[in-house]
């Protein structure tokens, strides 16, 4: 039985997570990071925190540009794999994002590929307060979330996918203000069941969170090429906010 309030601990630490989302590759990460860096124009010695970094695909792209980067994730297997890319300016740690990493240290905190919205309102605000603590004054926070308006309007209740000889059966449903996905995996006749559950957060919800935690929103984009956000048509909701 999947524990809904702890689903991320098992699912993100599973190899099946990365098989299912294998289309989210380093090429996509490189394009997004290039666009972000062009927009943000960081100083050459800027420090970045990749919060919920997975296997480090975005952190690696930043480090290759010469920035100082720390990636943290709650899944030990992800961090073990990411650690192979560690260098003088790149390191990885197992971490719960509801806790500050280093006080007043980072110029930028990135939270990418819908790595937010797992908790209730207080837990989400706790995460924002923690990363605010980690940021220097005037530090920048970037969050990349799915556009839940479009996602809920184009809802596919069930889907079957076969990847790398493994069968995935996906069942999606709206449960209150959460989008819940049950993932049944059949690998060599052995069945595994996982779950994803994220809040249907919209732009107004993030604005409310930012008001509660002191962030100032400075821009909003709708995709990885940083085109203008449109609530009905954009694939992503990418927010840029500043610590006062």
**What pTM did the predictor assign?**
0.90
Read off the pLDDT of each residue in 4-31 and give the average, rounded to a whole number. 85
**CATH number attached to the domain at 151-197:** 3.10.450.700
How many angstroms separate the first and last alpha carbons of the chain?
Answer: 43
Query: 168 pLDDT band (50/70/90 cuts)?
Result: very high
Q: What percent of the chain has pLDDT over 70?
A: 98
- For the segment 109-120, the average pLDDT, to the nearest whole number, is 93
Q: How far apart are CA 223 and CA 228, in angstroms?
A: 8
Q: Angle between the 203-213 and 121-134 helix axes, to the nearest 10 degrees? A: 60
Q: Sorting pLDDT into bands at 50, 70 and 90, what band is 5?
A: low
**142 close to 36: Cβ distance less than 8 angstroms:** yes
Per residue in 19-40, pLDDT tens?
A: 998 877 778 899 999 999 999 9
pLDDT in the model for residue 93: 97
**In contact, 160 and 167? CB cutoff 8 Å:** yes
Widest CA span in the chain: 54
Q: What would the DSSP string read from start to end of 3-47?
A: -GGGHHHHHTTSHHHHHHTTTS-HHHHHHHHHHHHHHH---TT-E
| Average pLDDT score, the chain | 94
The Cα 215–Cα 218 span in angstroms is 9
Higher pLDDT, 25 or 114: 114
| CATH class of this structure's domain 4-147+201-242 | alpha beta
Domain boundaries, the chain: 4-147+201-242, 151-197
Q: Which tokens sit at 54?
A: 């997975």
- Dihedral angle computed from the Cα positions of residues 54, 58, 62 and 68, in that order, rounded to the nearest 10 degrees: -20
Residue range 153-176: mean pLDDT, rounded = 94
Q: Are 201 and 238 in contact (CB under 8 A)?
A: no
Give the pLDDT of residue 144: 97
For position 87, what pLDDT does the model report?
98
Q: What is the mean pLDDT of residues 196-202?
A: 94
Rounded to whole angstroms, the Cα distance separating 32 from 219 reads 16
pLDDT band at 1 (very low <50, low <70, confident <90, very high): very low
The three-state (H, E, C) secondary structure of 76-109, written as one string: HHHHHHHHHHCECCEEEEECCCCCCCCCCCEEEE
Residue 4, pLDDT above cutoff 70: no
- Average pLDDT of span 50-77: 96
- Residue 232's pLDDT is 96
Same CATH fold, 151-197 and 4-147+201-242?
no
Looking at residue 2, what is its pLDDT? 40
């Amino acid at each position: 039985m999947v524990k809904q309030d702890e689903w991320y601990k098992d699912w993100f630490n599973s190899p099946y997570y990365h098989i299912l989302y294998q289309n989210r590759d380093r090429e996509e990460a490189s394009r997004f990071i290039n666009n972000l860096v062009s927009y943000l124009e960081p100083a050459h010695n800027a420090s970045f925190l990749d919060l919920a970094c997975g296997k480090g695909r975005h952190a690696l792209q930043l480090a290759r540009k010469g920035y100082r980067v720390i990636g943290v994730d709650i899944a030990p297997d992800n961090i073990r794999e990411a650690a192979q890319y560690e260098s003088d300016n790149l390191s990885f740690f197992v971490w719960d994002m509801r806790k500050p990493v280093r006080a007043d240290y980072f110029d930028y905190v990135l939270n990418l590929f819908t790595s937010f919205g797992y908790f209730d309102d207080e837990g989400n605000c706790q995460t924002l307060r923690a990363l605010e603590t980690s940021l220097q004054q005037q530090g920048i926070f970037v969050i990349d979330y799915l556009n839940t308006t479009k996602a809920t309007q184009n809802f596919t209740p069930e889907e079957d996918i076969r990847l790398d000889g493994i069968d995935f059966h996906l069942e999606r449903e709206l449960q209150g203000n959460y989008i819940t996905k049950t993932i049944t995996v059949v690998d060599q006749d052995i069945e595994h069941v996982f779950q994803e559950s994220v809040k249907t957060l919209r732009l107004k919800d993030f604005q409310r969170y930012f008001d509660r935690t002191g962030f100032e929103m400075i821009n909003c984009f709708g995709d990885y090429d940083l085109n203008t956000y449109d609530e009905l048509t954009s694939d992503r909701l990418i927010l840029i906010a500043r610590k006062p």
